[in-house]
């Protein structure tokens, strides 16, 4: 087994992005995907991602061509030291894929799933021995956003979560360890909490979609890119730290929390949000806005990477 050889199972949005990052790090990738067009799509994705990876200093030792494509998942994992699973988010597909690859894995290989919604426990049922199978959940797109959420449980062998974290950190990722299973993991729940109140502010007429979005990126969002909310509030009351902050603001926050809205994404609410975001986009198509988003993310990452 070559320690620098990896496998990606599923070459959709997430698998292609992981593959680009693995290649940029100097590793080779064996990609499994039943889609006959996958090679064209993944190679196009890697080509588009490569300039950003180079700009971020992540592609110094990389070779974008060190990728092979396979219609057989067992063949794809045969010599891999690390396997990232990104097949569709359907339990029967995940289980079938695990059953196919399990006999073909070399000893000590770690298999990590990108799954956003399925729990580790549900996915472990597809293994005879899930000891070396963990959750390795990225934030889209994995080649640009540093966060990876890693989770094992009582069925995971000692040291496997730490080894998976070590692998991701060797790619320049920032990992967090989840101590227990919860729907949506950590980051998606945080995102859902913010979006719930953003929608509530729009549907209750407080501000437009565009202004609520602006309030995030021009305000706390910029601070959150630097530090997390609790550390920021620790700095919010001077030398007294978080204790002084809570002493001073507990009533205020407890009152706001009582006032925050519950929302439901009905057809009417969806229509209101779509109209709002269309006004915000001012005719720019999603492809143009996505490019702009990625350019901003790369610029932010570059400007803060030396300070971390
Ligand atoms: N899209 C996101 O924002 C995001 C973010 C984080 C994690 N994830 C997770 O990553 C995983 C992949 O998501 P995605 O958005 O890349 O999905 P996708 O639908 O874009 O890609 C899935 C790929 O798997 C292939 N595939 C492999 N085996 C298959 C099979 N047996 N049957 C059908 N197709 C098969 C498909 O051809 C396709 O190319 C999911 O578990 C998802 O929850 C997604």
pLDDT, one tens digit per residue, over 111-165 is 999 999 999 999 999 999 999 999 999 999 999 999 999 999 999 999 999 999 9
Q: Ligand 1 centre and the CA of 167: distance in Å?
A: 21
Give the pLDDT confidence score for residue 308 in this predicted structure.
79
pTM for this entry: 0.95
Tell which wins on pLDDT, 3 or 226.
226
Question: How much is the mean pLDDT over the chain?
Answer: 96
Residue with the smallest CA separation from ligand 1 atom 18 is 12
* CA-14 nearest atom, ligand 1: 16
The predicted-structure confidence for 89-98, as pLDDT tens digits, reads as follows 999 999 999 9
Q: Which residues line ligand 1 (CB under 6 A)?
A: 10-15, 33-35, 38, 86-89, 93, 114-117, 137-138, 140
Ligand 1 centre and the CA of 46: distance in Å? Answer: 17
Q: Which helix (H) or strand (E) covers residue 35, if one does?
A: none
Q: Over range 164-181, report the average pLDDT.
A: 96
The CA-to-CA distance between both ends of the chain, in Å, stands at 34
- Give the pLDDT confidence score for residue 191 in this predicted structure: 96
Cβ 110 vs Cβ 167: under 8 Å: yes
The whole-number pLDDT of residue 63 equals 97
Can you tell me which atom of ligand 1 is nearest the CA of 35? Answer: 37
Question: What pLDDT score was predicted for residue 305?
Answer: 82
Phi, psi of 13 (to 5 degrees): -55, -45
CATH 3.40.50.720 at 5-178, yes or no: yes
What are the structure tokens assigned to 149, written together? 């959420």
Average pLDDT for 66-85: 97
Candidate from 11, 13, 76, 290 with most ligand 1 atoms within 8 A of CB, to mutate: 13
What percent of the chain is modeled with pLDDT above 90?
96
Phi, then psi, of 237 in degrees rounded to 5: -130, 30
* Distance (Å, whole) CA 298 – CA 294: 6
In this prediction, residue 1 carries a pLDDT of 63
Give CATH 1.10.1040.10 domain extents, the chain.
Answer: 187-305
Q: How confident is the model at residue 213 (pLDDT cuts 50, 70, 90)?
A: very high
State the pLDDT confidence band at 20, using cuts at 50, 70 and 90.
Answer: very high
- CA-based nearest residue to 110, from 162, 62, 75, 185: 162
The count of residues in the chain is 308
CA 8 to ligand 1 center in whole angstroms: 11
State the fold for domain 187-305.
1.10.1040
* CA 9 / ligand 1 centre spacing (Å): 9
Closest to 68 measured CA to CA, from 27, 25, 100: 27
Q: Which of 37, 39, 87 should be mutated for ligand 1, with most atoms under 8 A from CB?
A: 87
CB 84 within 8 A of CB 171: no
Q: How far apart are CA 36 and CA 23, in angstroms?
A: 22
The structure tokens 């794809």 sit at: 76
Other Cβ atoms closer than 10 A to 110: 21
Return the structure tokens found at 110.
């770690």
In the reported structure, the alpha carbon of residue 224 is separated from the centroid of ligand 1 by a whole-number distance in angstroms of: 29
Give the number of the atom of ligand 1 that is nearest the alpha carbon of residue 9.
Answer: 27
- Tell me the mean pLDDT in the region 251-260: 98
**Nearest ligand 1 atom to alpha carbon 13:** 16
What is the reported pLDDT for 3?
79
Following DSSP, what letter does each residue of 166-184 receive, concatenated?
A: HHHHHTT-EEEEESS--TT
Could you give the 3-state DSSP secondary structure of residue 307?
coil
Q: Taking residues 65-88, report their average pLDDT.
A: 97
Mean pLDDT, rounded, for 291-300 = 93
Q: What is the mean pLDDT of residues 50-64?
A: 94
- 94 C-alpha to center of ligand 1: Å? 10
- Going by alpha carbons, the residue nearest to atom 3 of ligand 1 is 140
For residue 5, the SS3 value is strand
Q: What are the start and end residues of each CATH 3.40.50.720 domain in the chain?
A: 5-178
Structure tokens at 250: 């507990």
- CA 11 to ligand 1 center in whole angstroms: 7
High-pLDDT (> 70) share of the chain, % = 100
Q: What pairs with residue 148 in β-bridges? A: 138, 175
Q: From CA 207, how far away is CA 289, in angstroms rounded?
A: 22
């Amino acid at each position: 087994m070559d320690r620098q050889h990896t496998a990606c199972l599923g070459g959709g949005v997430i698998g292609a992005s992981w593959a680009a990052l693995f290649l940029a790090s100097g590793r080779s990738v064996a990609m499994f995907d039943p889609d006959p067009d996958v090679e064209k799509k993944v190679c196009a994705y890697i080509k588009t991602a490569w300039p950003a990876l180079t700009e971020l200093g992540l592609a110094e030792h990389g070779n974008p061509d060190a990728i092979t494509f396979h219609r057989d998942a067992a063949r794809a994992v045969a010599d891999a030291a690390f396997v990232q699973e990104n097949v569709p988010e359907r339990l029967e597909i995940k289980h079938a894929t695990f059953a196919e690859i399990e006999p073909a894995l070399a000893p000590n290989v770690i298999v990590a799933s990108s799954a956003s919604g399925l729990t580790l426990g549900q996915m472990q049922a597809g293994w005879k021995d899930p000891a070396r199978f963990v959750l390795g959940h990225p934030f889209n797109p994995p080649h640009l956003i540093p966060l990876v959420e890693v989770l094992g449980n009582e069925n995971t062998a000692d040291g496997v979560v730490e080894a998976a974290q070590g692998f991701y950190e060797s790619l320049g990722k920032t990992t967090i360890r989840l101590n227990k299973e919860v729907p949506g993991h950590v980051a998606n729940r945080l995102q859902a909490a913010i979006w719930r109140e953003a929608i509530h502010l729009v549907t209750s007429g407080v501000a437009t979609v565009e202004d609520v979005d602006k309030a995030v990126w021009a305000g706390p969002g910029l601070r959150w890119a630097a530090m997390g909310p609790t550390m920021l509030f620790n700095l919010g009351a001077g030398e007294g730290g978080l204790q002084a902050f809570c002493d001073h603001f507990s009533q205020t926050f407890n009152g706001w929390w009582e006032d925050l809205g519950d929302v439901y994404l009905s057809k009417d609410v969806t229509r209101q949000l779509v109209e709002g975001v269309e006004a915000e986009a001012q005719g720019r198509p999603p492809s143009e806005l996505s490019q702009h988003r990625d350019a901003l993310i790369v610029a932010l990452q570059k400007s803060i990477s030396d300070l971390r």
